[in-house]
């Protein structure tokens, strides 16, 4: 038998052995393979967007605890809590005896991840940074939580809605868009940011798309110099502070202010990589191109 044939035989044998033993395996979004004796039934979510997705696919019965920031849908607030995202209570997590804890390197501290590893608590890591990866996450979580059919159906619907937006805005000229994630210090979407992609898909051109990767700080002077035709200010939770709309209205020479195209949106819809990202895309597309969406349309 050739070496290649032997390797193929070993891979096949391992797969059959895993199947026979009832083992559950699934790759997470960082390329790590989660292996469990059986499909997980007790899931702790340290990621608000993951909590949203699990509810959206009907897997909330397997969700035994969430963070203090997991506030959507409203039913998520009734789940047991293990503290914040950065430093959750490891004692509380351990006491719950989870089969797996869903984490993200983008929001959980390295210390938390290291402690979970030390305690030998299985983790499933997520790190969606684009619309494609959001949909991929929906499908992966469906397999993690035993809701593959529901997750695939949801992902398919979301893909169709994204495609519809792109088709509707395609004939229109792209306006220059300034999206403000946080007013002071001014934080904006830069290269590779999910919100930058949403602006593009919605038929706009983000004036900060060439800024540093992710969500960098930006100067007001640089933003004004880009002469945005639309300004979108993110609102966060129930805070009265601060969308800074008055601060931007004083720039009366900006095309966005002259054209009365200063908008406020719910930041959670745009920044959390769950199903509501597509709601945000549709909302943004209507702001940029109202003529592309007749009132009778979705």
Residue 298 lies in a domain: no
Residue 246: pLDDT band with limits 50, 70, 90: confident
Residue 160 lies in a domain: no
pLDDT for 248 equals 94
* 50 and 121 share one domain: yes
CB 168 within 8 A of CB 293: yes
Residue 248 lies in a domain: yes
Residue 264 lies in a domain: yes
Q: Is 188 exposed, middle or buried (0-12, 13-18, 19+ CB in 10 A)?
A: buried
Asked if pLDDT for residue 238 goes beyond 70, the answer is no
End-to-end, the C-alpha distance of the chain in Å comes to 60
Asked if pLDDT for residue 297 goes beyond 80, the answer is no
Domain boundary among 102, 121, 152: 152
* 87 and 147 share one domain: yes
Residue 244: pLDDT band with limits 50, 70, 90: confident
Asked if pLDDT for residue 241 goes beyond 60, the answer is no
Task: Give the Cα separation of 138 and 123 in Å (integer).
Answer: 17
When pLDDT is averaged across residues 79-98 and rounded to a whole number, the result is 95
* 243 and 199 share one domain: yes
pLDDT for 257 equals 96
Measuring CA to CA, which residue among 140, 195, 152 is closest to residue 30?
140
Domain boundary among 82, 117, 152: 152
Residue 115: pLDDT band with limits 50, 70, 90: very high
DSSP letter for 32, please.
P
Residue 8 lies in a domain: no
Q: What is the DSSP string of 66-87?
A: B-TT---SGGGGGS-B---SSS
pLDDT for 13 equals 35
Domain count for the chain, please give it.
2
pLDDT for 204 equals 98
* 40 and 85 share one domain: yes
CB 27 within 8 A of CB 18: no
| pLDDT tens, position by position, 7-24 | 333 333 334 344 444 589
CB 172 within 8 A of CB 203: yes
User: Mean pLDDT for the chain?
Assistant: 90
* 198 and 279 share one domain: yes
* 181 and 131 share one domain: no
* 178 and 82 share one domain: no
* 88 and 190 share one domain: no
Asked if pLDDT for residue 40 goes beyond 60, the answer is yes
pLDDT for 22 equals 55
Residue 2 lies in a domain: no
* 113 and 194 share one domain: no
Residue 164 lies in a domain: no
* 224 and 132 share one domain: no
Residue 168 lies in a domain: no
Domain containing 212 equals 173-292
Domain boundary among 123, 152, 181: 152
When pLDDT is averaged across residues 205-216 and rounded to a whole number, the result is 94
* 267 and 191 share one domain: yes
* 147 and 241 share one domain: no
CATH number of the domain bearing residue 91: 3.40.50.1980
Strand order in the sheet with 176-180: 205-206, 176-180, 230-235, 262-266
């Amino acid at each position: 038998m050739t070496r290649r044939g032997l390797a193929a035989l070993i891979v096949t044998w391992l797969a059959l052995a895993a199947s026979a033993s009832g083992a559950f395996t699934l790759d997470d979004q960082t390329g790590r393979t989660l292996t469990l004796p059986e499909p997980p039934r007790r899931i702790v979510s340290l990621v608000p967007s993951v909590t949203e997705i699990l509810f959206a696919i009907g897997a909330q019965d397997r969700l035994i605890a969430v963070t203090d920031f997991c506030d959507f849908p409203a039913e998520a607030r009734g789940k047991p809590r293990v503290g914040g995202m950065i430093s959750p209570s490891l004692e509380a997590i351990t006491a719950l005896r989870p089969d797996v804890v869903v984490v993200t390197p983008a929001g959980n501290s390295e210390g938390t991840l290291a402690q979970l590893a030390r305690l030998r608590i299985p983790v499933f890591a997520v790190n969606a940074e684009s619309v494609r990866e959001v949909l991929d996450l929906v499908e992966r979580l469906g397999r993690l939580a035993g809701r593959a059919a529901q997750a695939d159906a949801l992902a398919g619907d979301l893909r169709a809605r994204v495609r519809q937006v792109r088709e509707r805005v395609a004939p229109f000229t792209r306006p220059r868009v300034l999206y403000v994630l946080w007013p002071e210090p001014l934080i904006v979407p830069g290269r590779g940011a999910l919100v930058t992609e949403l602006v593009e898909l919605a038929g706009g051109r983000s004036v900060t798309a060439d800024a540093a990767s992710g969500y960098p700080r930006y100067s007001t002077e640089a933003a004004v110099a880009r002469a945005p035709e639309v300004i979108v200010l993110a609102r966060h939770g129930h805070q009265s502070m601060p969308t800074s709309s008055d601060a931007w209205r004083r720039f009366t020479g900006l095309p966005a202010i002259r054209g009365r195209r200063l908008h406020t949106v719910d930041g959670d819809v745009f920044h959390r990589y769950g199903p509501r990202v597509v709601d945000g895309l549709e909302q943004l597309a209507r702001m940029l191109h109202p003529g592309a969406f007749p009132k009778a349309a979705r």
